[in-house]
Amino acid sequence: MAEVASAIPGSGNLGIARDGAEHVYFHSGSEATYRKVSEKASGFTTIPTIDLTDLDGTAAQRKAIADDIYKACHECGFFYVKNHGIPQEIVVETFQLLKNFFALDLDSKMDAHVQKNPAIRGYEPMLETKLDPRTQGDIKEAFTMGDCVIEPEQDYVGRTGKQRPAHITQPQNIWPEKAPWWRDGLYKYYHHVFPLAMKLVQIFALAFGMEETAFDKHFQFPITGMRPLYYPPTPVTEDAASVGLGAHADFSWLTLVLQGENVPALEVLNPDGIWVDAPPIPGTLVCNVGQYLERQTNGLFPATVHRVRNKTGQERYSLPFFLTMDPDVELDVLDCCVEQGEVPSYERINVGDLYIRRVLPARKKHPTSIKYRDVPQDQWSYRMLLS
């Protein structure tokens, strides 16, 4: 059953509009967006916690979890999960792995720089990204790995029963040559979080009153991403410049985040324009709806805006795992999420096509973005990341 974790509403990053009202800024898709701060709060002020102890239990137990997740996603778009099955020793080992990697000298990390990889994977140094244009850039270091049909750790043939696509001839990930332990360590965590995510896919199917395997055909070899993050110590202020990661909504289907303990920084924007704390809770992951799931549910599950802001002055590590459907899936609004006679708010769209339209604008300096900058967006395709 779900329980409510304590969280404290936050503020900051506010602007004053011409009408005198306060607005909060965030990044949505590839556009800047502002939300008016309500004078009378009515949205969520806490993030629920859902117990996954019975994730492999009876049909009734799994349906109970599904109902809790439906409520959390509809009302908040965020939820914690506890008793998720990832051993604590793996969590401890993974955070030590992140500390060891980001402590490497810059040359060793730049060996796997994101601009050396067509799929926009690899290491990103400080200020490489900029989700909030009012800042000098996101105050963080990052590394991205994701789905790759070539890497044996992901067992494409075993998962899909198909031979590797002939047009993919190079690995989609890039790894630092001087730190082979980095790849080994990340895959050790991946082999725990990926199966958990796939179990949650089936729980979501149950939440919509469908057979629990209804979505399996859309997740045979899904778009995935693991993104280790390091936020250095920074002054504690309410100013936008102190934001480690600018306000945004994820362009995933579902995100599962492992937060470093004792360093609160994640904040979630509620419908009233108020920032709500999502502090780390030992033994949990924090999960959130992405833009694909928002589209699939016709907006019933919001892809809630969130940001990372240093509130302690301490360094922080986190590890989000992003899950999205297979790139060739044609995504449509679920029938159960549309009232009789209602016109869906979202049109049918190819998953890979939408993905590329979100990734490239966010990495304008990347060689892949530069290569295709004169190509109209309606001609972009997921294959552009595979060559």
Structure tokens at 66: 């599904």
Question: ∠ at Cα 88 (87, 94), nearest 5°?
Answer: 95
CATH number for the domain spanning 144: value is 2.60.120.330
In a domain, 26, yes or no: no
The CA–CA distances, whole Å, from 369 to 238, 249, 256, 361, 380 equal 33, 21, 27, 7, 11
pLDDT at 137: 55
> What letter does residue 131 receive in the DSSP assignment?
S
Share of the chain above pLDDT 70, in %: 83
What are the structure tokens assigned to 2, written together? 């779900």
Q: Residue 199: name the closest of 52, 94, 70, 320 by CA.
A: 52
Does 244 reside within a domain? yes
Digit-coded pLDDT (tens) for 131-171: 444 555 578 899 999 999 999 999 999 999 999 988 888 89
Q: What pLDDT score was predicted for residue 166?
A: 87
pLDDT reported for residue 243: 52
pLDDT tens column, 280-331: 999 999 999 999 999 999 999 999 998 888 778 789 999 999 999 999 999 9
Tally of structural domains, the chain: 1
CA angle 59, 64, 67 (to 5 degrees): 125
Residue 22 and residue 15 in contact, taking contact as beta carbons nearer than 8 Å: yes
CA distance 260 to 165: 38
Q: Is 192 contained in some domain?
A: yes
CB 68, CB 2: distance < 8 Å: yes
pLDDT digits (tens, 9 = 90+) for 199-226: 999 999 999 999 999 999 999 999 999 9
pLDDT of residue 124: 94
Which residues form the domain of 286?
43-385
- Whether residue 291 contacts residue 250, with contact meaning beta carbons closer than 8 Å, is answered with yes
CA 322 to CA 336: how far, in whole Å? 25
Identify the residue whose tokens are 């979202």: 346
Look at residue 32 and tell me whether its pLDDT is greater than 50: no
8 pLDDT above the threshold of 60: no
Residue 6: inside a domain, yes or no? no
Nearest to 203 by CA among 44, 46, 71, 355: 71
Residues 6 or more apart in contact with residue 313 via CB below 8 angstroms: 233, 234, 235, 236
3-state secondary structure of 196: helix
Domain membership of residue 38 (yes or no) is no
**HSE toward the beta carbon, residue 316, CA cutoff 13 A:** 27
Average pLDDT over residues 265-286: 91
Domain assignment present for 130: yes
CA dist 327 and 329 (Å) reads 6
Report yes or no on 238 lying in a domain. yes
Structure-model confidence comparison of residues 42 and 223, the more confident one: 223
Residue 191 pairs with which residues in a beta bridge?
none
| Average pLDDT, rounded, for the chain | 86
Q: Structure tokens of 43?
A: 């949205």
Query: What gap in Å lies between CA 114 and CA 107, rounded to an integer?
Result: 13
| Residue 25 placed within a domain | no
User: Token pair for residue 189?
Assistant: 């965590």
SS3 32: strand
Q: What is the mean pLDDT of residues 219-243?
A: 80
Confidence of residue 29 (pLDDT cuts 50, 70, 90): very low
